[in-house]
Amino acid sequence: MAGEEAAPCRHRGAPPEEVVNRVAEIVSGIADDPQYLYQRGLSAGEFRLALPAAIEKLRGSTAASNADRRDFLGMIFDHMLAVGAIASVVRPVYGKDTVYQLAVPDIGNVAIIQKGCPDGAHSSVAWSVPSWAVETYLWWLCPSLASEPGEHVFKGVNRLRRRFFSDAPDTLDGIIFHNDLCGSDLRPCPKMGRAVEIGGNRIPPPCIWIMPERGQGPDFNWHGRRQRRFPAVLLSSFNVDAGNASVLTGYIGFHQGVRGIRTTVASRFGPGRLTTFRS
């Protein structure tokens, strides 16, 4: 599948695409089995009519885990407070926005915009940069095993690319992919050797990518030369010193040529350890 190399990890036991497609066929085909439906008190017409609403209800019960995602992100920021990486955190009023304001010594206010899986339009396009932010990052907390992490990330980057080359006024300093699956048996992490204990769990450092800056092309951070300050601060809370932060900080680059726009996603996960995906 395209995009796997956009992140250094793989899911363990994630269902193959053909299995997912087969499950979708089975669910859709239930309407063609009137005997099965009759035994459960439904007609084929009732099943077809209710199926979209039932799928939305299932999605809603999955969305209830958003509380767990908020708890995870809050736990990370509490840890950063405890080790002195940040001076304070202003948490969002949920239902209004999902933007955290971190006061970072020697930098200023950094905005963290909490989002779900990056391949959702809402998670990669529906955001704005606060006026108070010195640096702004999307933090993707993705529990999905439907695709490999790199595929999720690359789909999100493609959506961010369209916005980058649009008339939208805001740009990001970087993106972060990290949630409670990272380092677990379901999503093993090659950075687990640098994990720290947070909330009773061993949690590896997040995947971080620095985004391009708008300006004169055709290359926009194509070789990863743009520098941002917050990634080193975040990594310091995982006992990564400033001199080693660069070997755990990836980058996103765009190249605008006559044949269209190319994208590079480079992930760093240790000295001499790099995985790159280009399209």
Per residue in 122-153, pLDDT (tens digit) is 778 889 999 999 999 999 999 888 888 989 99
Whether residue 155 contacts residue 3, with contact meaning beta carbons closer than 8 Å, is answered with: yes
In this structure, is residue 2 part of a structural domain? no
pLDDT band for position 223 (50/70/90)? very high
pTM of structure: 0.82
Same domain, 153 and 232: yes
Number of domains in the chain: 2
Question: In terms of domains, do 126 and 264 share one?
Answer: yes
Helices and strands of the chain, counted as H and E runs: 7, 12
Dihedral of CA atoms 203, 80, 275, 273 in degrees, nearest 10, equals -80
Is residue 101 within 8 Å of residue 89, measured between CB atoms?
Answer: yes
Residue 151 within a domain: yes
Regarding whether 233 and 172 lie in a shared domain, the answer is yes
**Rounded Cα gap, residues 63 and 51, in angstroms:** 18
Q: 266 forms bridges with which residues in the sheet?
A: 251, 276
| Domain annotation covers residue 4 | no
Strand partners, 103: 88, 109
Residues 75 and 42 in one domain: no
Residue 245, pLDDT score: 95
97 and 178 together in one domain = yes
Whether 56 and 90 share a structural domain: no
Residue 94 CB coordination number (10 Å): 11
Contact by Cβ (8 Å): 221, 264? no
Average the pLDDT over 9-15 and give the result.
74
Query: Can you tell me the mean pLDDT for 4-9?
Result: 82
| Domain's final residue, options 31, 48, 63 | 63
Q: Are residues 163 and 74 in the same domain?
A: yes
As a whole number of angstroms, the distance between CA 112 and CA 136 comes to 6
In a shared domain, residues 48 and 108: no
Asked whether residue 154 falls in the same domain as residue 35, the answer is no
27-69 pLDDT, tens per residue?
A: 888 888 888 888 889 898 888 888 888 877 776 555 546 677 8
pLDDT at 13: 65
Q: For 162-197, what is each residue's pLDDT tens digit?
A: 999 998 888 999 999 999 999 988 999 999 999 999
32 shares its domain with 137: no
- 3-state class of 75 per DSSP? helix
Domain that holds residue 132: 66-278
Q: Is 117 helix (H, G, I), strand (E, B) or coil?
A: coil
